[in-house]
Structure 1
Amino acid sequence: MAHADLLMTCPPITGVVLAGGQGRRMGGVDKGLQELQGRPMSAWVVERLAPQVDELLINANRNAERYTEFGYRVVADKIPDFAGPLAGLHAALSAASHPWVATAPCDSPFLPSDLVSRLAAAMRTADADLAVARTFDQPHPVFCLCKRDVLPHLTAYLQSGERKFDRWYATLKTVEVPFDDAASAFENINTREELQRFDAPR
C-alpha cells in the first residue's frame, strides 16, 4: 500500500514545533527566533510542518507573544526548568486535539515535506506506539510521531527524573524510519557559526 493510502487510514495528527529550549550553544538566546535568510528559524519549520498535519502547536517557554504571531497556539512546558525536548512533547501531548502527535525542532529549517506521511505509514504498518526518523545509522528522536495515549507513560518517565529521549522511546514499541534519501533535510543549526554558514540561499 502506498504512503498516501496508508496515511488516509491514520487518525488526524497534531504537529508541534519544539522551540522551548535554552539555546545554550547559541549563547542562551531563543534559538527559534534567530533569523535565517531574514526570517526566524521557527518560521521555516512552521512553513514546512503545517501542511503535513491537521493541527499545529508551537512549544515555547519564552517570548510567547512573538511565537503567537505565527498564527498557531503556543504551549509551554508543564515540566519546569527547561527539561528538554521530551518536556516539549509532553506539553504537546497534553494540549493536542488529535490522537497522533508529530514533532520537529525549531532549529531544523530544511525538514522533509513528506516527514509526517512517511512516519505515519511506518507507524501504521508496524502497529507501533512511536515512529522515529533515521538517516543511515543515526536516529533523530526529535523528529517523531507518537500516539497521544503514551502521555501517562511519558509523564511517569519525566517525573522519575529521566530526560533522555532515546532511553524513553526504547521502552515503547518503536519503529525507526529510514530517510537516507533526505539526510541533508535533518541538518540542524545549533550555534551562531552554523547559522552564519546556512544564512545563504540554498
Structure 2
Amino acid sequence: MIAPPPAVILAGGRARRMGGGDKLLLEMGGAPILDHILARLRPQAGPIAISANGDPARFARFGLPVLPDPLPDFPGPLAGILAAMIWAEGLGADAVVSVAGDTPFLPEGLVAGLNDSAADSGIALAADHDAGGALRLHPTFGLWPVALRGALKAALADGVRRIRQFAVPQGFGTALFEAAPEASFFNINTPEDLAAARARAPALRK
C-alpha cells in the first residue's frame, strides 16, 4: 500500500480583512479552526505541517512543524508551497498536498481525489461547481511534486505570485469535487464568514 503524501496547511497570510492575527486559531464549534482542519486532514494524509510566518510558539500546542516562507516580504501562497516542497523532500516524499488554512470544511476525500487527477507534471488542483454550474478552481488545494521545487523557486524569483500563474505552464489536472451540503471549499475571509462558519460547524469530539 502506498503511503499517503504529507500535507501542509497554508496560513502565511496576514488576514487583513479579519483585523490581522491567525485565522487558524479562531474559535469555531468550540475549537480552533485548525482542529477542524486536522480532523478532516489527518485520516487522509501523511505527516502534516503548518506554513506560517512569525513566532512558531503560538502553534506549539498542536505539535506540528511550522514552516516559514523561504523568501522575504510575504510573497504569497506560492512561497508556502515552496516551503512545503522543501519540507516534504526532507521526509523522502515525492509530492506534498497543500490546503488552505481558512477552509475548515475541506473534503474528506481531498487527497485521494488529487492523487487520482494528477497531470503528467504531477500537479492536481481542486475544483467544484458554483451555484450556476460553472467550474470553480480552488488552487490552494493542490498536489505538488517535489521535483518542481527548482522551477517554483525560479518562478518566484521572476515575480510569479499566483498559484495558477505557476501551475498553468507546468500543466495540471483538475480534481472535481461536487459541492457538499456543508460547502467543502467555504473559506473564511471576513467576520461575517466566520459567523456563518460557526453556525454550521459541528462540535468536535475531544
Q: Does structure 2 retain, via aligned residues, the 8 Å contact 1:15–1:53?
A: yes
1:34 aligned to 26, 47, 51, which one? Answer: 26
- 3-state SS, counterpart of residue 199 of structure 2: coil
Counterparts of 1:106-121 in structure 2 under 5 Å?
106-121=101-116
Deviations 1:75-119 (A, max 9, x none): 111111221111111111111111110011110000011100111
Is 1:93 aligned to 2:85, yes or no? yes
Compute the RMSD of aligned alpha carbons.
1.6
Report what 2:174 is aligned to. Answer: 176
Shift of 1:127: 3.3
Q: SS where residue 51 of structure 1 aligns?
A: coil
Tell me if structure 2 keeps the 8 A contact 1:133–1:176. Answer: yes
Q: Counterpart in 2 of 1:133? A: 126
Q: Is the 8 A contact 1:129 1:172 kept in 2?
A: no
Q: Do 1:14 and 1:54's aligned partners in 2 also have CA atoms closer than 8 Å?
A: yes
Identity %: 38
Q: What is the match of residue 68 of structure 1?
A: 60
State the match for 1:142 in structure 2: 140
Aligned residues: 192
Would you say the 8 A contact 1:11–1:99 is kept in 2? no
The one-letter code of the counterpart of 1:200 is: A
- Asked if the contact 2:85/2:144 (under 8 Å) is kept, the reply is no
* Distance in 2 separating the partners of 1:83 and 1:121: 30
When residues 181 and 128 of structure 1 are mapped into structure 2, their CA distance, relative to the original with a 3 A threshold, is: farther
After TM superposition, the score normalised by the length of structure 2 is: 0.87
**Structure 1 residue 56 corresponds to structure 2 residue 48:** yes
Match of 1:3 in 2: none
Does the alignment pair 1:197 with 2:189? Answer: no
Q: 2 CA distance for matches of 1:139 and 1:38?
A: 30
Match of 1:164 in 2: 162
Structure whose residues are more often helix by fraction: 1
Q: 1:122: Cα distance to partner?
A: 1.6
Output the CA distance in 1 between the equivalents of 2:168 and 2:28: 34
CA deviations 1:114-135 (Å, max 9, x no partner) are 1001110122xx4342000011
Give secondary structure in 2 for the equivalent of 1:52.
coil
Please state how far the C-alpha of 1:201 moved relative to its aligned partner: 4.3
Q: Hey, what's the Cα distance between the residues in 1 that align with 2:53 and 2:87?
A: 15
1:171 is paired with a residue of what secondary structure? helix
TM-score in terms of structure 1 length: 0.89
| Partner residue, 1:15 | 7
Q: Match of 1:186, SS?
A: coil
